[in-house]
Chain A
Amino acid sequence: MPVGASTFGQLGANAFLDALPRGRLAENVLHFVRVLRAAGLPLGPAKVQDALAAVEAVGIGERSDFREALAAVLVSRREHLPIFEQAFDLFWRNPRLLERMLAALLPKVQGRAGDVADELPARLAQAMVRAPVPKVLPEGEETELDATLSFSAREVLQNKDFASMSAEELAQVRAIMRTMKLPLPERPVRRTRASPHGHAIDLRATLRQSIGANASLTPLSFRAHRRRPPPLCVLCDISGSMDRYARMLLQFVHALTNDRHRVHVLTFGTRLTNITRHLRHRDVDVALARVADAVEDWAGGTRIGTCLGEFNRKWSRRLLAQNAVVLLISDGLDADAGAGLAFEAERLAKSCSRLVWLNPLLRYEGFEARPAGIRAILPHVDDFLPVHNLQSLADLADALAGPRIERTMQAKAA
């Protein structure tokens, strides 16, 4: 049995199989779908029926047609195509072979559902080993934490730099972070809703009213534009110099991702990685473990210019539509000494509605924008804010709600 095939899938499909006279082919298609599911493709039981219908429609006379028919039904993202193709080649040659290969294939393509069962024991084991570290709070006990911490203890925690915290303090901060939110100011969108203070006349509602009421006067109904927070895109620097902050801030980012729609997260050091899907898992530990697997350049060097360039070319058009706000979390220390960075930063600033730079270095009183990387980015950001302790994160919401601190640092940098 391929790993990860859910019991739900088994039950539904087995019942379905019994009703089928098609024999071995149906069975093989079923197994193939299971194999793909184990390899991380999001395929529900209904897909087996679709796949069979497709195969039946095309016939099995021609291998390539058979293959494309299955692909059309079973692949729904471009990224999954290579996985499908590998699996197809292996499976329809010798199903036995594949089962043995699967174990090797698995770690590379982490599934979304189904593999939680595998990860949980790992977490348990981790929890055992970590036992001496005090107060890693289980879920649901955050409120208790508030009570146990005295006011002054909280105060200290609020203002202490992440980089100088003890393991215990970090654990407490992590628990607080999980409940934090970032209320971005809402923007009007093109969609409307009924509102007595609206500007556009709602003819439909007006007419309905006029029918019901037996009066010669018809009061007008109005509609106003709806408002909703803009999409958010987080670019988090995970290079060596940012290591301690990045590990903490990803907790915060995880809370953001699960608090609202339209949040995308990418990490960069020497390369760019989109970790949005990995962060989607509700459980912060599972989510961060997946991120750790996906990101290959933890605590390495930084090539900000190259990474922003890649973001601009490959992702900006996909993620920055509809007036997105970009949070750039980085200390701006660049191994390439800012080469090409100004150009890419300008492009990034022009592609989003607001570019917010969160920089832990800003905690120093006498911070000066000396390094080349910082000077290259600074003229293009809309807000430049510190992000080194809990207080700065809490202030973040206020700062973003207010008017932009528009390129004020520009003068300082010059």
Chain B
Amino acid sequence: MASSAQVAASVDQTLALLNGQDYVADRRLATAVFLALRLRRPLFLEGEAGVGKTEIAKVLAAGLDRPLVRLQCYEGLDTAAAVYEWNYPRQMIEIRLAEAAGDIERSELSHDIFTTRFLLRRPLLQALSPEQGVPPVLLIDELDRTDEPFEAYLLEVLSDYQVTIPELGTIRAETPPIVVITSNRTREIHDAIKRRCLYHWVDYPDAARELEIVRRKCPHVAESLAREVVGFTQRLRTLDLFKSPGIAETLDWAEALVALDRIALDPQTVADTLGALLKYQDDVGAITPEIAARLVREAQADPLKA
């Protein structure tokens, strides 16, 4: 891969790659991504919801010009949904056809219906044996949602980049995919998984970086409003909330304010649109008009200093 060789040349180039896709990364993240590419290790991203973990995989796929294969995890995820499944209806039809034609040889038949023609390829298998031959970016999203048995299975996949299908044999990736795993930390992921990965805690961005993100992602938001929005959100995160707003919420809120034709913050507008930032009634209730007014005042006086 020419493109991956280029991007893996240095941390600076990785930073530029992410930047080129409008992902404003800090140097720590760029280093982790660079090492993941260079050392061919999975990248394990942990952090609160809405800080841009999933986005990294998308940006990498776009920037390196590779397909993105996404595996969304959920409780009870099994090999049939994650790796492969046999196409049973087609197999049955095949058997019926063979029977109807009369040329039925049972041992032959079992050989025929367990071939790749009847194989439904799920995300992990797609990532290990890509159809176009280009190793994709494999995004294993929200690993914490699944259960321990799947984690244990993943261990084999991540260390050897291979899966075993009893009827077909072992399928091994010629070139391993770029693996990005995300977790919202709704439970602890087993240390064995983490050990195989490069770990990065994705934190909330500082004010300057968040402002840059708002500028990039919502270019039609006026500069002064963007500064106030960022100043307000940054201060909101210092409060003791059940769920602090992520970057996704900041962007939503900026869009909401533009849609309402606001060019500056005022306590009433904040009260009306708080639902874009805070998603728990307790948190919304905790931001009383006095607190909102104080935050707005501070955000307007000195936006980028929390």
Residues of chain A within 8 A of B82, CB atoms compared: none
B147 within 8 A of A: yes
Among A72, A78, A190, point to the contact of B35 (Cβ < 8 A). A72
Q: Is the CB of B86 within 8 A of A207?
A: yes
Q: How far, in angstroms, from A312 to B201 measured CA to CA in the complex? A: 22
A336 within 8 A of B: no
Among A53, A207, A261, point to the contact of B39 (Cβ < 8 A). A53
Q: How far, in angstroms, from A191 to B74 measured CA to CA in the complex? A: 11
Q: Is the CB of A81 within 8 A of B95?
A: no
Interface centre among B27, B199, B241 (most CB of A within 10 A): B199
Query: Quick one: given A73-B35, A73-B198, are A261 and B148 in contact (CB under 8 Å)?
Result: yes
The 0/1 profile, CB within 8 Å of B marked 1, for residues 357-375 of chain A is: 0000000000000000000
How large, as a class, is the contact surface on chain B? 35 or more
Among A53, A76, A191, point to the contact of B76 (Cβ < 8 A). A191
Q: Is the CB of B32 within 8 A of A68?
A: yes
How large, as a class, is the contact surface on chain A? 35 or more
B261 to chain A: closest CB distance in Å?
A: 36
Residues of chain B within 8 A of A192, CB atoms compared: 78
Contact residues of A between 324 and 369, Cβ < 8 Å to B: 347
Which of A89-97, A128-136, A314-322 interfaces with chain B? Answer: A314-322
Q: How far, in angstroms, from A65 to B148 measured CA to CA in the complex? A: 35
Among A42, A207, A313, point to the contact of B88 (Cβ < 8 A). A207
Query: Quick one: given A190-B75, A210-B95, A214-B106, are A68 and B199 in contact (CB under 8 Å)?
Result: no
Residues of chain A within 8 A of B187, CB atoms compared: 318-319, 321-322
Among A68, A76, A319, point to the contact of B195 (Cβ < 8 A). A76
A189 within 8 A of B: yes
Among A68, A69, A211, point to the contact of B106 (Cβ < 8 A). A211
A413 within 8 A of B: no
Q: Is the CB of B35 within 8 A of A318?
A: no
A220 to chain B: closest CB distance in Å?
A: 12
Residues of chain A within 8 A of B198, CB atoms compared: 72-73
Q: How far, in angstroms, from A262 to B219 measured CA to CA in the complex? A: 46
Q: Is the CB of A57 within 8 A of B199?
A: no
B122 within 8 A of A: no
Q: Is the CB of B188 within 8 A of A318?
A: yes
Q: How far, in angstroms, from A314 to B197 measured CA to CA in the complex? A: 25
Q: Is the CB of B110 within 8 A of A211?
A: yes
Residues of chain B within 8 A of A189, CB atoms compared: 75-76, 147
B220 within 8 A of A: no
Residues of chain B within 8 A of A211, CB atoms compared: 106, 109-110, 113
Q: Is the CB of B106 within 8 A of A76?
A: no
Contact residues of A between 61 and 98, Cβ < 8 Å to B: 64-65, 68-69, 71-73, 75-78, 81
B194 within 8 A of A: yes
Q: How far, in angstroms, from A77 to B32 measured CA to CA in the complex? A: 14
Q: Is the CB of B39 within 8 A of A54?
A: yes
Q: How far, in angstroms, from A64 to B32 measured CA to CA in the complex? A: 12
Q: Is the CB of A76 within 8 A of B35?
A: no
Residue of A nearest to B37 (CB): A57
Q: How far, in angstroms, from A225 to B148 measured CA to CA in the complex? A: 16
A146 within 8 A of B: no
Q: Is the CB of B35 within 8 A of A57?
A: yes
Contact residues of A between 28 and 83, Cβ < 8 Å to B: 42, 44, 50, 53-54, 57-58, 64-65, 68-69, 71-73, 75-78, 81
Contact residues of B between 23 and 43, Cβ < 8 Å to A: 27-28, 31-32, 34-35, 38-39
B290 within 8 A of A: no
Q: Is the CB of B88 within 8 A of A203?
A: yes
A196 to chain B: closest CB distance in Å?
A: 20
Instruction: Please name 7 pairs of A and B residues whose Cβ atoms are closer than 8 Å in the assembled complex, sorted by A.
Output: A58-B10, A65-B31, A68-B11, A72-B31, A81-B201, A204-B88, A321-B186
3 closest residue pairs by CB, A with B = A190-B76, A68-B31, A211-B110
Residues of chain B whose beta carbon lies under 8 Å from any beta carbon of chain A: 10-11, 27-28, 31-32, 34-35, 38-39, 44, 46, 74-76, 78, 86, 88, 91-92, 95, 106, 109-110, 113, 144-145, 147-149, 185-188, 191, 194-195, 197-201, 240-242, 282
